[in-house]
């Protein structure tokens, strides 16, 4: 008996020692947030807390997402705000149904290729008044609140209004982004007045206040979307358009409406992955996954030369197809089913040379024809929201309508002036979009996820899903894991974080990849958030990327 007890003690000590060793040696820097209550994951702790407060006061995941997004527009104004567009995927737990909301705006009726050519413009402007399309975010908020929310829109916006009025200390990443855009902000008097108090970008810890934005949000709280598209805010926007010789008219704003659409999907290993349909670029993530599925990535190993080579080459092929075929589907046929087929992926995968990187990858011929914020939320009932919202570039167009406190985005910069392209500029047409919310499910698990960063997004989504499905990571580890990114559509250039070993980088270089090494947790590969619900246990999980200032926060029990 004494020997048995001794062996038992040894076993317990070994178990404790092994567990302690594992905890000390794990590769992820943060733990998942785990709760039976709701969780909000956002790029700012203040934004995540705004969403959690709404959950704790009886709101659901949609209310939390709106509150979080509104706060993000206050505390990270260069990335997002009510002057930009929005996409969301909503999971209704009771109905077990997904809804997609496309709240991306259209070009003004008068902004056409012919108009720009008469101005001597030969390429689509990337900043200034002619890059501005109708912002869709506010209409998106109202559509979401009316269909799914439990709270009044005014309640969802309350925390953001208070914070804009009272101010907040500027965090690290935000201060760095801000400091890099002085020239753009100084090019517009109203932008400089709002965002450069004392003629400087706020530094880390400096309190920044935006009373004009508080006014705009209060107008929306009191009058809903009409304040933005028909009322007092609209009047200020239209006055600014006239001042800058823009084409946007009252009808362009008043007639706009976001729309519910059916998410598109593919299977990857045991998961079903969902993205928004065109004009969003999420189809590139799904095609990339289909191509990657033809390779045994799990056997090749995470961070291996063979796995990374296959994934980088898959990215090039999927993006080439997206660049050729994806645009606003209204009035033209986009070959979504063909691009998502497994047979198409097998054909494209055959073009990948295991030993050599391809620097010039074209789109396949079908038969018959950077700056953003992402957040996710889950409530205690299992309702989930995957939401992404953006100004496109940092501080968008660089133009602020005086008195409004927000910058107007430059999403129109993604149009082309090539009249033969499906993405050619036209009045009341939406441009091809970089911003994409993601969703995935497997058995009893549902996951809302996203990773921001311009053309980084689809390739980052595919890597995140592979981390979970192939390399068996949890959502925090999958979000933190080193990533590659190729923002260009041609060439062999690719950026890789330095946590990928030097030996692997050298082997990739030998295959022809032109490697630029990034830092340990680089903004160059985007930043993301994720929440996961295990319906079998009723437990929620949250993850937040260390590449941003944010966190995943859980609501307190009742």
3-class DSSP string for 76-119? CCCCCCCCCEEEEEEEECCCCEEEEEEECCCCCCCCCHHHHHHC
Give yes or no: 372 in active site.
Answer: yes
Taking CA atoms, 170 is separated from 46, 81, 208, 209, 277, in Å, by 11, 16, 7, 10, 36
Strand partners, 213: none
Contacts of 541 (CB under 8 A, 6+ apart): 32, 33, 34, 39, 474, 475, 531, 532, 533, 534
Q: What is the pLDDT of residue 2?
A: 36
Q: How far apart are CA 196 and CA 189, in angstroms?
A: 10
Q: From the centroid of its chain, how far is CA 400?
A: 23
- For residue 505, which of 493, 460, 523, 513 has the smallest C-alpha distance? 513
Q: What is the pLDDT of residue 365?
A: 63
Of 112, 163, 372, 373, the catalytic one is: 372
Are the C-beta atoms of 511 and 309 separated by less than 8 Å?
yes
Tens place of pLDDT for every residue, the chain, 558 residues? Answer: 333 333 333 333 333 333 444 445 677 888 999 999 999 999 999 999 999 999 999 999 999 999 999 999 999 999 999 999 999 999 999 999 999 999 999 999 999 999 999 999 999 999 999 999 999 999 999 999 999 999 999 999 999 999 999 999 999 989 999 999 999 999 999 999 999 999 999 999 999 999 999 999 999 999 999 999 999 999 999 999 999 999 999 999 999 999 999 999 999 999 999 999 999 999 999 999 999 999 999 999 999 999 999 999 999 999 999 999 999 999 899 999 999 999 999 999 999 999 999 998 887 665 443 567 899 999 999 999 999 999 999 999 999 999 999 999 999 999 999 999 999 999 999 999 999 999 999 999 999 999 998 899 999 999 999 999 999 999 999 999 999 999 999 899 999 999 999 999 999 999 999 999 999 999 899 999 999 999 999 999 999 999 998 999 999 887
Q: What is the pLDDT of residue 371?
A: 62
Q: What is the pLDDT of residue 13?
A: 35
Q: What is the Cα gyration radius of the chain?
A: 23
Classify strands 33-35 and 85-92 as parallel, antiparallel or unpaired: unpaired
Are the C-beta atoms of 435 and 280 separated by less than 8 Å?
yes
Q: How far apart are CA 139 and CA 229, in angstroms?
A: 8
Q: Where are the domains of the chain?
A: 30-558
């Amino acid at each position: 008996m004494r020997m048995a007890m001794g062996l038992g003690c040894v076993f317990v000590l070994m178990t404790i020692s092994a567990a302690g060793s594992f905890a000390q040696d794990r590769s992820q820097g943060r733990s998942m947030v785990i709760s039976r209550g709701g969780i909000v994951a956002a790029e700012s702790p203040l934004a995540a807390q705004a969403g959690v407060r709404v959950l704790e006061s009886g709101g659901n995941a949609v209310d939390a997402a709106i509150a979080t997004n509104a706060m993000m527009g206050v505390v990270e104004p260069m990335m997002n705000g009510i002057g930009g567009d929005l996409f969301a995927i909503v999971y209704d737990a009771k109905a077990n149904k997904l809804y997609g909301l496309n709240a991306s705006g259209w070009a003004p009726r008068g902004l056409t290729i012919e108009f720009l050519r008469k101005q001597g413009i030969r390429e689509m402007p990337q900043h200034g008044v002619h890059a501005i399309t109708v912002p869709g975010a506010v209409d998106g908020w109202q559509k979401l609140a009316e269909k799914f929310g439990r709270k009044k829109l005014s309640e969802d916006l309350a925390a953001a209004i208070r914070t804009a009025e009272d101010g907040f200390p500027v965090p690290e990443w935000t201060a760095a982004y801000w400091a890099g855009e002085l020239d753009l902000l100084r090019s517009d008097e109203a932008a400089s007045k709002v965002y450069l108090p004392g003629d400087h970008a706020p530094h880390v810890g400096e309190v920044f206040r935006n009373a004009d934005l508080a006014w705009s949000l209060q107008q929306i709280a009191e009058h809903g979307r009409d304040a933005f598209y028909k009322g007092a805010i609209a009047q200020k926007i239209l006055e600014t358009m006239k001042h800058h010789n823009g084409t946007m008219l009252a009808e362009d704003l008043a007639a706009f409406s976001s729309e519910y659409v059916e998410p598109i999907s593919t299977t990857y290993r045991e998961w079903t992955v969902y993205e928004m349909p065109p004009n969003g670029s999420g189809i590139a993530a799904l095609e990339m996954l289909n191509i990657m599925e033809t390779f045994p990535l799990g056997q090749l190993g995470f961070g291996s030369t063979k796995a990374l080579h296959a994934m980088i080459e898959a990215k090039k092929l999927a993006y080439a197809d997206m660049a050729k075929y994806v645009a606003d589907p209204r009035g033209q046929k986009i070959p979504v089913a063909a691009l998502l087929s497994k047979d198409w992926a097998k054909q494209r995968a055959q073009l990948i040379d295991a030993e050599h990187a391809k620097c010039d990858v074209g789109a396949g011929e079908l038969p018959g024809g950077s700056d953003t914020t992402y957040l996710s939320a889950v409530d205690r009932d299992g309702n989930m929201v995957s939401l992404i919202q953006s100004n496109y570039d940092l501080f968008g167009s660089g133009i602020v309508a005086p008195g409004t406190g927000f910058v107007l985005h430059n999403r129109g910069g993604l149009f082309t002036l090539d009249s033969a392209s499906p993405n050619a500029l036209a009045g009341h047409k939406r441009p091809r979009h970089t911003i994409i919310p993601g969703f995935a499910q497997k058995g009893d698990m549902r996951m809302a996820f996203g990773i921001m960063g311009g053309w980084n997004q689809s390739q980052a989504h595919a890597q995140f899903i592979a981390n979970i499905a192939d390399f068996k990571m949890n959502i925090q580890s999958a979000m933190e894991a080193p990533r590659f990114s190729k923002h260009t559509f041609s060439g062999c250039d690719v950026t890789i974080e330095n946590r990928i070993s030097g030996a692997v980088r050298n082997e990739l270089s030998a295959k022809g990849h032109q490697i630029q090494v990034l830092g340990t947790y680089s903004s160059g590969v985007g930043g993301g958030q994720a929440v996961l619900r295990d319906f079998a246990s009723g437990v929620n999980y949250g993850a937040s990327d260390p590449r941003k200032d944010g966190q995943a926060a859980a609501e307190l029990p009742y």
